[in-house]
């Protein structure tokens, strides 16, 4: 089994990486492969709701996924199929997740959502002082829409630190990350080979009549 951990911080080896590394090490101790993927610090396009990824029409250059192929969204989302579980990590900006990570998740889930359906997942947020719970809740909402069972821990998956590496000094935060990893491993093993529930046909509606 394999878990894909998405580092949504513009700092490749900052405190978000520190927290995700604690999760990854614990998963590997549980016998589960863990890969941390960095979204990078270059511009990440947002979804423009063009619907091209759902049209079924091939792109002229042959790429797969979102219509935009000038960032690494498609390259990372291509890894979804090989993963059995996911952890999405972000620093906190003004009480919110990093905008680039949100852009990535929105585009990747819309264009390649079938590859994450029914796979356990969790989110991790890092902050200097406050706003982590709001960012944490925001990141969890897409997982629920994608039918992804959410792995929990002994507390919200939050760690504290400002300068790079300081999160490792948050002893409770690091314990929370390890507990999350143990719970995620337990879920993965428990769900292995289990058939997902049959879904009703989606019945979308709005309130404009």
Q: Give the model confidence (pLDDT) of 76-112 as tens digits.
A: 999 999 999 999 999 999 999 999 999 999 999 999 9
Could you tell me if residue 68 is inside a domain? Answer: yes
* Count of structural domains within the chain: 1
- Pull the structure tokens for residue 37: 């993927």
**Residue 198 located in a structural domain:** no
Residue 122 lies in a domain: yes
Section 45-65 average pLDDT: 95
Q: Is residue 205 part of a domain?
A: no
- Structural domain range at position 93: 2-191
Domain presence at residue 200: no
At residue 4, the pLDDT reads 98
Contact 171, 133 (CB under 8 A): no
Q: Output the CA–CA distances (angstroms, integers) from residue 41 to 9, 13, 19, 98, 180, in the order listed.
A: 8, 12, 18, 11, 27
- Whose CA is closest to 67, among 44, 42, 50, 43? 50
β-strands 33-38, 96-97 pairing: unpaired
Looking at the domain assignment, is residue 91 inside a domain? yes
What CATH number does the domain containing 161 carry?
Answer: 3.40.50.360
Its pTM surpasses 0.85: yes
């Amino acid at each position: 089994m394999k878990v894909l951990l998405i580092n949504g911080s513009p700092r490749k080896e900052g405190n978000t990486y520190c927290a995700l590394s604690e999760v990854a090490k614990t998963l590997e101790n549980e016998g589960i492969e863990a890969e941390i993927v960095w979204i990078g610090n270059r511009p990440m396009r947002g979804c423009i709701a063009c619907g091209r990824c759902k049209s079924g029409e091939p792109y002229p250059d042959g790429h797969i996924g979102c219509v935009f192929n000038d960032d690494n969204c498609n390259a990372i989302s291509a890894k979804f199929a090989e993963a059995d579980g996911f952890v999405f990590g972000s620093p906190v900006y003004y009480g919110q997740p990093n905008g680039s990570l949100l852009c990535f998740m929105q585009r990747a889930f819309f264009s390649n959502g079938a590859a994450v359906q029914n796979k356990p997942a969790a989110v991790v947020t890092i902050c200097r002082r406050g706003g982590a719970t709001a960012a944490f809740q925001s990141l969890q909402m897409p997982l629920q829409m994608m039918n992804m069972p959410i792995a929990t821990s002994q507390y919200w998956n939050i760690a504290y630190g400002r300068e790079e590496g300081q999160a490792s000094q948050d002893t409770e935060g690091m314990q929370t990350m390890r507990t999350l990893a143990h719970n995620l491993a337990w879920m993965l093993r428990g769900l292995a080979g289990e058939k997902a529930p049959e879904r009703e046909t989606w019945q979308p509606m709005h309130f404009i009549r």
